[in-house]
Amino acid sequence: MAESLKLRSVEKQFTTSRRDVTALTGIDLDIASGEFVGIVGPSGCGKSTLLRLLAGLDTPSKGQILIDNQPVARQDPRCAVMFQEPRLFPWKRVEANVAVGARRSKEKPSPGNWLGLVGLDGFGHCYPHQLSGGMAQRVALARALIGNPEVLLLDEPFGALDALTRMQMQDLLAEVCDRVGTTVVMVTHDIDEALYLSDRVVIMSPRPGEIVEVLNVPAHRARDRSDPAVARMRTQVLRHFGFEEPCTESVALSYGAAAD
């Protein structure tokens, strides 16, 4: 079952020996059960930090995060996370790495089926070092999806994939999420990806990360990639990042990194 998420005045500060960094401030957001929310913003604005807080891998300095109206637990078992890098266990074979994500499921789904879905049939016996970056990322996606999590937290899940594989993985994700009804929060640098998959797109400011706008995406998933209504929204998102003219190329927000 999918769960709702609530963020209430969330702030996160990091204290290092040299200085304090406010990564996030004043984050208020309600995400409905089964909703798909995309998060876009410049590099360093706190997107990964936000996902770590939602997963209970770190705690807010101020504010509160609730999953299904209960405070998020340490390493909350309701969440599956796919990090910015694959983070596979190097000593486990691919199949065993995927099976790690099935720990919580009662019916013990087969890792082999999931490897097939992410286009990795026949690679179950390999070790992570025998995979390309994009293959390792797809293993991490299979590991995140296999347990039918209530909340799926994805940090730039398709960043290392070529354009065609990325589109296939986006369609797989949309199909699985619709079937399972998972609540999804996906960070991405790719505005088109955010608009293709999300019910709402959250736009964040440069660090300290604040929510500057939340857009409702018209039309239901999975959308027509050339839907004019979505194209208009793309122009609206680009304006937030300083682009006034409509842009025809696929846009990734790799520019505008906050000076750290």
Ligand X SMILES: Nc1ncnc2c1ncn2[C@@H]1O[C@H](COP(=O)(O)OP(=O)(O)OP(=O)(O)O)[C@@H](O)[C@H]1O
2 binds, among ligand X, Mg ion, none (CB under 5 to 8 A by kind): none
Size of the site for ligand X (CB under 6 A): 14
**Separation of CA 57 from chain center:** 15
CB of 43 to Mg ion, least distance (A): 7
Rounded to the nearest whole angstrom, what is the least distance from the CB of residue 58 to ligand X in the complex? 8
Among 6, 26, 33, 48, binds ligand X (CB under 6 A): 48
Residues in 12-31 that interact with ligand X by CB under 6 A: 14, 16, 21, 23
How many angstroms from the chain centroid is the CA of residue 20? 26
* # chain residues binding Mg ion, by CB under 5 A: 1
- Whose tokens are 């208009």? That residue is 232
Which among ligand X, Mg ion, none contacts residue 16 (Cβ within 5 to 8 A by kind)? ligand X
Selected from 78, 207, 234, 240, the binder of ligand X by CB under 6 A is 207
CB 106, min distance to ligand X, A: 34
Which amino acid is it at 97?
N
Among 107, 244, 249, 260, indicate the residue that binds ligand X (CB under 6 A): 260
Stretch that binds Mg ion, among 32-40, 42-50, 118-126, 164-172 (CB under 5 A): 42-50
Q: How far is the CB of 46 from Mg ion (least distance, A)?
A: 8
Q: Which is nearer to Mg ion, 3 or 155 (CB)?
A: 155
Shortest distance in whole angstroms from residue 141 CB to Mg ion = 17
Least distance to Mg ion, CB of residue 259, Å: 16
Q: Is 91 exposed, middle or buried (0-12, 13-18, 19+ CB in 10 A)?
A: exposed
Residue 49 binds ligand X (CB under 6 A): yes
Residue 235 binds which entry of ligand X, Mg ion, none, with Cβ cut-offs from 5 to 8 Å by kind? none
115 within 8 A of 146, measured Cβ to Cβ:
no
User: Longest C-alpha distance within the chain, in Å?
Assistant: 51
48 binds Mg ion (CB under 5 A): yes
Footprint on this chain of Mg ion (rule: CB under 5 A): 48
Footprint on this chain of ligand X (rule: CB under 6 A): 14, 16, 21, 23, 43-49, 84, 207, 260
